[in-house]
Every structure is written in C-alpha cells, then in structure tokens.
Amino acid sequence: MLDPQAREAETLSSTEAHSSEPRVLLVTERTLGEGHRSAARALAEAFRRLVPGLSPVIATTLPAHVEWVFNAVYGHTLTKNPALWGAAYETELWTGPLMKPIVSNPMRRNVRRLVARYKPHIVLATHALPVHAFARMRKRGAPYVFGVAITDFGGNSFWTDKYVDAFFVANEEIGRRIAARYRLPEERFVPTGIPIHPVFAAGEEERRRRREEKRRALGIGEEPLILLFGGGEGLFDFPSLIHALDKLTLPFSLLVLTGRNTFLWETLRTLRGSLRHKLFPYGFLEDPQEIFDIYLAGDLLISKAGGLTVSEALAVGLPMVLHRPIPGQESRNTDYLLEKEAALYAPRPDILVRTVEFLLREPERRRELAERARSLGRPDAALRIARHMLTLYAQSRKPAQTSP
C-alpha cells in the first residue's frame, strides 16, 4: 500500500486517475515553503482547463521520516547558518552527481508504487528531489513522457538528467545557461516561464476591475499598498520591520502574508492598534483568485526571492524590493532580476526602509520597475507547459515510422 505521506492532500483517488486519458502525474515534495506545491497545483489546473474531465494526480515521494529530517536540517541551516547552504549550492556542480543517487534512494520505492498504481502517461516534476528516481525508471523503459518544471531563474544538478524529455525554464537565456552548465541538449529546454496559476493570465480589463474591487474591500483610497511576503518560514523579523516602516511619515497601507506561521499572524493582529498606518495581516491562502487579487491591489512588494513569488509579481507587473534571499537558489533569482533591472535589493532592514521611502516618493521609478517586471512576466506559463507535455504525449503515441 502506498505510504500515505507520499501523497499530497490534493491527490485524487486511483479510480479517478484511471478514468481519463491521458493520465497525468505531478510530483512535488512537502519541503519548506509553498512554491513547489503551488507550481504543481497550477499545472493541475492548466491540464484541467486544456482537457476537460482530466484528473491530474499530485503526489510526493519522500517517506515521512526522510521528509521530517530534510526539513529540520534545511530549516535549521537557513535560520542559523544560511551561508552554509549557499556554499553547498555553489559546489553542487561536482557534489550533485555524487549525492543524487544517495538522496533519491529513499524515495525509489514510493516512485515505483506511484507508477504501478497510476500508470501515468505524463510525469511532470515541480521539485528537484524526485527527478533522478523518475529518470531512472524512464531509462529502464517506463512508458511515460517525463518533464521537469524548474521553479527558479537558474538550476542545479538535482533538476537535471539526460532521461528527461523536456525542461521548462523561465526564458531562453536561462535555458541556454543550464544546458551549457550541465552539458544537456539545448533543444530540450522550453522557455515557457515558471508555472503560476492560470488565473494570472487574466486580461487587462479584468485586472483593473479586480484591483478596484479588492482595494475597495480593504478600505484603501489613493495611498500605495505595500505587500510584505515571506513570513511563513520565520526568516524575517516582521514585527521589527513593520515598526521601522511605520515610522515613515508618507501615506501607505501594509498587507502582510504570514503563510502557515500562525504565531506571526496572531502577533500582527495584536500589533495593528499601535500603528499609524493600516495593517492587514493574512494567514495561509489557498484560493489562487484571492492571491491574484492581492497582487493586483498592491503597488510595491517586499519579499524574499522565491521563484514562484517573483514570477507572480512579474506577471502582474509589480515593483519589487528583495530582502534577505536564501543563499543559493534565491540569491541567483535576485542576481537575475537585478541584472534585468526589474527589482531593487535591500540586504539590511535600514536599507530596506530607505529604499521603500525612496520608491514611495518617486512613483515614476515604481512605474519603471513595473514595466520591466511586466516585460519578463509569463502569466500563461502553466498552460504552455501543460500544452507542451500533451503534445509530447501525443507524439509518443504515434506508431514508429518504418522504412519500406
């Protein structure tokens, strides 16, 4: 029987999985942060929109005890010694090939069970850890097309394997870089964008309407709305940062997402009465439409540089100030956005406050950042990825051409 911990809550029953053609298996993991799972949910919705009646399965592969150890070590490293994680990331070119078989070994049994149970035609990974195990099965002749959606503006060796049929990347430039670094065929890298929920592909008229409705619901007038994200992992001292921003005399309101950090959410609720600026604390949000509306209502985003968060902000053209990115994947995301002049970087709280003050005083600079962000946005990325995988599946079903 499949380990219950090897399945996401969104996973559908095996009966449903077998009732539609093609059968789609989306694999992710419950590691810290929501980005990888959000990408899987976005892709599931994209497949459903393209093929009505399709029931994609979302599953995880790490056994429960391995998942707990991984998250404990990862979380401790990020909070106590983030530079160590950054150093590990920088050496992955030569350590990755050694570590991939070791890391993937605990999940191989669950991978075999998933494939045996759901008999997928399409497997699509939104997390790096299961890639090697599914690629090994592909090497041994497993009859599915295998895609990998890389959820950052860069990659590492855990995302890559020569038995992957298609890699979906943020853009052509990123694809070329990863292909060259890991000596993979460039034609396998498809510049779709990072998969965000299809609601972000709404037209301009609907976006304007939803922005007005959300701001009206919040009771916001003409003052800028600052969004503060990244509280779920507890890597920011949000209360201190909010007090520092509240000292600014310029008018603005502040909306904070605390994710699954209920202690932080309660703390901010009690803090509201002592601030001169309006504060709207939100906990974990599951409705992608509500998340989209919050982005639309905002005028400036302060956040870490998670691949999904950044991609959602780019899709709506939201100016960003990046603060305390995780060394490794998020520092590479930061470097890319700074290179494209699509965001500003504030490494310390005092610099962050000064940067926010500058942008509040200079709406034209905010507009410039918004235009650059919008030019990089790929709001329809999930739909493009799903469409490409369906095409690969259709091609795999065609009978092989034989010579006369």
User: What pLDDT digit, counting tens, does each position of 127-169 carry?
Assistant: 999 999 999 999 999 999 999 999 999 988 999 999 999 999 9
Q: Domain count for the chain, please give it.
A: 2
pLDDT attached to residue 72:
83
pLDDT attached to residue 180:
95
pLDDT attached to residue 65:
83
Residue 23 lies in a domain: yes
Residue 403 lies in a domain: no
Residues forming beta bridges with residue 147, ordered by sequence position: 124, 166
pLDDT attached to residue 159:
95
Assess whether 231 and 192 both reside in one domain.
Answer: no
Assess whether 104 and 177 both reside in one domain.
Answer: yes
Residues 6+ apart with CB under 8 A from 126: 26, 27, 28, 36, 37, 39, 40, 43, 149, 151, 195
Domain carrying residue 293:
199-376
- Helix 307-316 to helix 288-297 angle, to the nearest 10 degrees? 60
Q: Where are the alpha helices (DSSP H) in 119-261?
A: 131-139, 172-182, 204-218, 238-246
DSSP string, 330-356: HHHHHHHHHHTT--EE--SHHHHHHHH
Assess whether 370 and 222 both reside in one domain.
Answer: yes
Residue 156 lies in a domain: yes
Amino acid letter at 75?
A: G
Residue 83 lies in a domain: yes
pLDDT attached to residue 231:
65
Task: Report the distance separating Cα 39 and Cα 330, nearest Å.
Answer: 16
Assess whether 43 and 162 both reside in one domain.
Answer: yes
Residue 231 lies in a domain: yes
Residue 404 lies in a domain: no
State the pairing for strand pair 145-149/24-28: unpaired
Assess whether 285 and 386 both reside in one domain.
Answer: no
Amino acid letter at 325?
A: P
pLDDT attached to residue 232:
63
Q: What is the pTM for the complete model shown?
A: 0.90
Assess whether 130 and 271 both reside in one domain.
Answer: no
Amino acid letter at 358?
A: F
Assess whether 31 and 178 both reside in one domain.
Answer: yes
Ranges in the chain, pLDDT < 70: 1-20, 231-235, 400-404
Assess whether 178 and 275 both reside in one domain.
Answer: no
Assess whether 361 and 393 both reside in one domain.
Answer: no
The CATH number assigned to the domain holding 31 equals 3.40.50.2000
Assess whether 174 and 222 both reside in one domain.
Answer: no
pLDDT attached to residue 69:
82
Assess whether 257 and 335 both reside in one domain.
Answer: yes
Assess whether 362 and 393 both reside in one domain.
Answer: no
Residue 102 lies in a domain: yes
pLDDT attached to residue 340:
95
Residue 354 lies in a domain: yes
